[in-house]
Structure 1
Amino acid sequence: MSTIDLRKKIVELTLVKKQLTGVTARVGIVLDITGSMRNLYSRGVVQEVVERILAVASKFDDNGSLDVWIYDTEFSRLPPATERELGSYVFTHILNNANIHKFGRNNEPPVMEDVIRKYTQEEKDTTPVFIIFINDGGVVRQTKQVIIKASVLPIFWQFVGIGDSDFEVLKQIDSMTGRLVDNANFIHVDRIEDVSDEHLYDQLLNEFPQWLQAAKSKRIIYIS
């Protein structure tokens, strides 16, 4: 079996474990492209992350594609990632794209607002949205206000901290007040390239089921 097919099988097993079989969700990934991420792009780590998350998207969404954003001080909404570009997506659409702002400083709220715009205005729907947000530290404090404001929307934010930053802002997510439902989670993996697919998928999907139930009870989403 190909690597992507093996990963799909692991995702399937994880969905059974988390009681998520039969759940449909739109899946997106937001990639930090600040200066401190340069090495992870050049070593192919970010490409590998995109491929690993594509396997999740393929099991949640019939279109088999993964929505992609990147950001530093600016942001770009990129073409969806599909299996046709395995091994080349990051080079083609990010590193070899002169129109993309790269390796600047952090500014999370604008890209988060664009995620919200896509799923609640341009493609308005009550289908759950699962956003995986890759970051290596330096998140601005205003990010918390966007999360609070978005708690009434059908979007769950799964933040993944990579590297050895202290992740001060992201560590405060679980204790934030003023939300209709708990709509975000944070996990930290020092070297994501060393984490097995089984462990990564288990961690990524750990709080999504609880959010689905909470969002359903508040009529934010409609699922059977």
Structure 2
Amino acid sequence: MVAISLSKVQQTAPALVNLYKSAGVSLTKHGLDGLRAAVYLVVDHSGSMRPYYRDGSVQALADRVLGLSAHLDDDGTVPVVFFSTDVDAETSIALADHQGRIDRIVAGLGHMGKTSYHLAMDAVIDHYLDSGATEPALVIFQTDGGPLSKLAAERYLCKAARLPLFWQFIGFGDPDSKQFDFLRKLDELAVPGKRVVDNAGFFHAGEDPRRVPDAELYDRLVGEFPKWLVAARAQGIVPAQGTVPPV
């Protein structure tokens, strides 16, 4: 059973109904229907991201994440971390107030700095631990470039591998840019040499992420989650009860 029903989405966020339906198809395809999980969104607020805020790409991603989260988490909200050199904001987006929400948040933020992954990762880890959640979490982490400190980002990812958090990185921008070499490397870090399980994935959404079809985006967002769930359950990181999706 879904966390939030179609009729509830129709009442509270009618503009997201098609996204909700598309997300449901992808979750079923990957054996994740009926799963309960927290969903986080981490958004790059560095200076080079300005065009993606201006053209609505970040809002479009937030809407798509809400459509996905409604199947997995029954509170109708997604915690959001905006980061640049530091953590610029820790807030949330909600089904009932999603339209234009990203612009309203960003209007209250200051300078768009550089890119520090590890501080945003730390904020997500703290929020998850403080929440007392027992369900696993899918962290959708958007960026348009590599981090200021590659060593710190790698260290945080490896330490977080012992927590029930899966990090799905998504790149905005030129797919051929060397800026994404680090994320490709992060995606392939050795198991168990560097981390106890493979707790991260990466895919590129291109220079106009809004053009990625909803079905394709959802498949990419959840495609590696089932394999991680199986590995994390085998290691005792995620409780064994509940939906066990096929690999």
User: Match of 2:99?
Assistant: 87
1:88-103 residue pairs with structure 2 within 5 A? 88-94=100-106, 96-97=107-108, 100-103=109-112
Separation (CA, whole Å) in 2 of partners of 1:128 and 1:49: 21
Q: Which residue of 1 aligns with 2:216?
A: 199
Describe how 1:70-149 pairs up with structure 2 within 5 A. 70-94=82-106, 96-97=107-108, 100-120=109-129, 122-139=130-147, 140-141=149-150, 142-149=152-159
Question: After TM superposition, which residue ranges in structure 1, 4 or more long, deviate above 3 angstroms?
Answer: none
Report what 1:218 is aligned to. Answer: 235
CA RMSD of aligned residues (A): 1.4
1:183 and 2:195 aligned: no
Secondary structure of the corresponding residue to residue 112 of structure 1: helix
The aligned counterpart of 2:67 is 55
CA distance in 2, matches of 1:90, 1:130: 20
TM-superposed CA distance for 1:60, in Å, is: 0.6
2: CA distance between counterparts of 1:61 and 1:23? 9
Following the alignment from structure 2 to structure 1, what is the Cα–Cα distance between the partners of residues 134 and 110? 32
Distance 2:34 2:138 in 1: 15
State the Cα distance separating 1:43 from its structure 2 match.
1.6
Q: Secondary structure at the match of 2:132?
A: coil
Cα contact 2:146–2:183 (8 A) shared by 1: no
CA distance in 1 between partners of 2:118 and 2:92 (Å) = 21
CA distance in 2, matches of 1:162, 1:17: 25
Gaps of at least 5 residues in structure 2 are: 1-9, 243-247
Instruction: Give me the TM-score of the superposition, normalised by structure 1.
Output: 0.94
Deviation at residue 41 of structure 1 after TM alignment: 0.7
1:78–1:93 CA contact under 8 A, matched in 2? no
SS in 2 for 1:152: coil
Aligned residues: 220
Give the unaligned 5+ runs of structure 1: none
User: Which of 166, 182, 188 is residue 169 of structure 1 equivalent to?
Assistant: 182
The answer to whether the Cα contact below 8 Å between 1:28 and 1:130 also exists between their aligned partners in 2 is: yes
Given that residues 30 and 70 in structure 1 are in contact (C-alpha distance below 8 angstroms), is that contact kept between their aligned partners in structure 2? Answer: yes
Cα deviation for residue 3 of structure 1 reads 3.3
Shift of 1:30: 0.3
